[in-house]
Structure 1
């Protein structure tokens, strides 16, 4: 009987771990979708139809809802932009000069 009790405890902890992992993955997926949606909105505000992401730096902090996104992109006309999104704030996209974009990418002008 003691053997079944330890087996049930192990199954319970496995199910609990699996359930919490699933919820965490689901929450991170929703957060990523929200960030991508905000990025697309920022692109539409500046009427950017086609772009190339040159740098995408996404950092997650200790709190699961805290996320920082920094992206440098170039549109089809050669203009560079910096996109910054921090946690629940709306994303901000600012035009960059070619030289600043190269500096941010770690390349020499």
Structure 2
């Protein structure tokens, strides 16, 4: 988790002027539905894979690790950049919780 924050903060250091930061905030807010939409869709994808393709996840457990890593990165990134408005703002039910169901 600390490594993710370190990498993201290093990434932000490349954005030196206000217009770059504004563009980054706009991307988090609106691009492709915004960062919370990306978080929710990754979680939805894993839920669907658990339901409809458990054999794929069983044969390739690194898929869950990959989606989990993306979830951690997006979740931490969303904490660092808090724009004023989102296309899809976070609520109590959005984004959905990360699916923790064990793959058997």
TM-score, reference length from structure 2: 0.30
> Which fold has the larger relative contact order, with Cα–Cα distance below 8 Å and residues 6 or more apart in sequence?
2
TM-score, reference length from structure 1: 0.29
**Which structure features the higher share of helix residues?**
2
